[in-house]
Amino acid sequence: MQMHSRFRSDRRLTTRMGITLFLLGLVYVGFVAALIVLLKSWVLVVLVAAAVLGAQYWFSDRVALFAMHGRVVEREEYPELHGVVDRVCAIADMPKPVVAVSDMDMPNAFATGRNADHAVVCVTTGLLRRLEPAELEGVLAHELSHVAHKDVAVITVASFLGVLAGLIVRFAFYSQLFGGGRRDQNTAVVFAAVMGVSAAVYALSFLLIRSLSRYRELAADRAAALLTGRPSALASALTKVSGDIARIPTKDLRTAQAFNAFYFTPALGREPGVARLFSTHPSLEQRLDQLGRISAELGEATAPGGV
């Protein structure tokens, strides 16, 4: 069913998603063709690829919740959280997602699911403890805009290629490691070629996904600020959450980092260093600058009474 929410559409985001999927599709076709030639078993390659893609698409929400220790919560347990979700969904004119909470001190949130009718929004207890209601509303509007713009589904599908390539690299590596003595030289060459192709595909998909992910976060900030009319509340949440995450020991963030592309803010430690160049999110400065411009625009549009 096609959903038309009140989140402002973003043609540039739609264009970027289309280009990313097209380029990844070309890489995927070439990847599968190379594997068929190298492994001489198209049935195995197609079955494995189809199984991984299906699992990514249909079960991504469950995998993310399981990995982040999230659990579905009812209104009786978290009435304030459900109230904010209800309010944002009413303003956005979109179906209410499943609401979940993760018992983690790391302040963060994410949305996942293949479409608006099968979406999940999850917040950590650390986020709930730190944010005021207006700030929480901005964060949830940001997450729900990902669902409305369908970029959650696109990122999930786009991530499939990298996951598949990574699995094949590991499979080839361990096959050589534990079965090298029983293999002839030709087999070793084939496995080395498979690992090389897989590593190249993983690198390409990694860069394409990071580029799309950084833009979609800016698009979600923009859509949330315009929907709620309170960009300053979202900016306050961003500043508060980013500062608190930076104070959490890196060892406590390692599990969460695998899902950075889905988070409100990335789970980076005190010294991100070079990792910043490959981040799934734009810098805090970029996000705050954009929200500042939107705040000024809304202030001019509603003068002299203000927002």
Q: Active-site residues: which are they?
A: 143
Peptide bond into 304 cis (omega under 30): yes
Q: Determine whether the annotation assigns residue 80 to a binding site.
A: no
- 121 three-class SS: strand
- Indicate the pairing of strand 120-124 with strand 109-112: antiparallel
Q: Determine whether the annotation assigns residue 118 to a binding site.
A: no
Q: Determine whether the annotation assigns residue 142 to a binding site.
A: yes
CB 35 within 8 A of CB 194: yes
Q: In the chain, which residue ranges form alpha helices assigned H by DSSP?
A: 11-39, 42-67, 79-92, 125-130, 133-148, 151-179, 185-228, 231-246, 250-257, 284-301
Burial per residue of 140-173, b for 16 or more beta-carbon CB atoms within 10 angstroms, e otherwise:
bbbbbbbbbbbbbbbbbbbbbbbebbbebbeebe
Closest Cα partner for 285 from 238, 241, 252? 238
Q: Which two tokens stand for residue 301?
A: 């549009």
CB 16 within 8 A of CB 212: yes
CA distance linking residue 192 with residue 172, whole number of Å = 8
124 forms beta bridges with: 102
Q: Which two tokens stand for residue 161?
A: 């290629």
Burial per residue of 88-121, b for 16 or more beta-carbon CB atoms within 10 angstroms, e otherwise:
bbebbebbebbbbbbebebbbbbbbbbebeebbb
Residues in the chain: 307
Task: Could you list the residues known to form a binding site for Zn(2+), using ranges.
Answer: 142, 146, 217
Binding residues: 142, 146, 217
